[in-house]
Amino acid sequence: MNGSNGSVMMDVRQLNKRFGDVHAVRDLTFQVKKGEVFGFLGPNGAGKTTTMRIVTCYIPASSGTISVGGHDTVEHSLDVRKKIGYLPENNPLYNDMMVTEYLKFAGELRGMQGDKLSSRIDEMVQVCGLAKMTGREIGKLSKGYRQRVGLAQAMLHDPDLLILDEPTSGLDPNQIIEIRELIKKIGREKTVIYCSHILSEVSATCTRILIINNGSPVATGTAEELTSQMGSGNQYVLRVRGSGPDIEAKLQGVAGVSSVSASQDNEWASVRVACEGNEDIGESLFRCVVDNRWSLAELKRERASLEEVFTQLTRG
């Protein structure tokens, strides 16, 4: 099943988590449907990681229930963990292991063995672009490659639900774009929960977004729905002939631009540029397009900005 009418993959009801005096998650209720790429968005300290730790059975809730694929996280913890692939925040890894050795270890703990495991590891190495790194020690890899190892581990057993907690944190812009493309590719077939405190990350990859603040939900919907719900700001929409990632990277460099997201449509890329403040940067964008000798089919300014919605909703 696919799209917003699919059946429920994860069901969170009345979830609460307290750490002593800190009420990290408050009455959180939401569902993730099969096939969705679900954006879980909120500023630092909003309670995203805590929620995911409860989902993955690492810590229990103070109250409320979660079920994943019909299994309760408390009653059937092992079943839930089998269904989930998890990339924890900050991507912890066994630094003294080799890449393949680590994936083999993770696979064995997933109940995989022999040829099936080896061929699955090969596949993940291909998908995640790790082919040149298989014999390297994980502790000596760059951050971008470490992230790929983390992703490979999370997807190794072809999980029903893939949970990624801030998968692009600490990466440079090019690596962010690469990882984002990888996640988009994965998201075409899998149910993904993508946690981030950066709006553009989530709006570029996710089919639906839940914004939380101080542990409580504040808004949910598609990026368009959220934008039309409230707020106004400055955004530009461009149609440019060229490769999406390249255009994204170049436009990101234009003064006043806060985020860029591109989606490819044959040789044309539809690009959405959000800018800081209310300044008119149409001319700078046009110049950037001309300097790069791209063909331009469209350049228009849109008023509402998701960025502003997010800022308004999570202020204070």
Ligand X SMILES: Nc1ncnc2c1ncn2[C@@H]1O[C@H](COP(=O)(O)OP(=O)(O)O)[C@@H](O)[C@H]1O
- Residues engaged in binding Mg ion (CB under 5 A): 48-49, 89
Query: What is the nearest approach in angstroms of ligand X to the Cβ of residue 70?
Result: 26
The DSSP secondary-structure symbol of 243 reads -
- How far apart CA 1 and CA 133 sit, in angstroms, is 35
Provide CB contacts within 8 A for 273, sequence distance 6+: 235, 236, 237, 238, 251, 254, 257, 259, 260, 281, 285
**Site residues for other proteins, window 281-310 (CB under 8 A)?**
none
Provide CB contacts within 8 A for 40, sequence distance 6+: 48, 51, 52, 193, 194, 195, 196, 202, 209, 210, 212
Residue 33's binding partner, choosing from other proteins, Mg ion, ligand X, none, with beta-carbon cut-off 5 to 8 A by kind? none
Query: What is the nearest approach in angstroms of Mg ion to the Cβ of residue 82?
Result: 24
One residue of 111, 114, 135, 316 binding other proteins per CB under 8 A: 111
Is 24 a residue that touches ligand X (CB under 6 A)? Answer: yes
One residue of 36, 38, 41, 49 binding ligand X per CB under 6 A: 49
Strand-strand pairing, 37-41 and 208-213? parallel
Closest to 103 (Cα-Cα) out of 140, 128, 68: 128
Is 247 a residue that touches other proteins (CB under 8 A)? Answer: no
**Site residues for other proteins, window 4-63 (CB under 8 A)?**
18, 53, 56-60, 62
Of 210 and 260, which CB lies nearer to ligand X in the complex structure? 210
Binding site for other proteins (CB under 8 A): 18, 53, 56-60, 62, 78, 81-82, 84, 86, 88, 90, 92-97, 105-106, 108-111, 113, 153
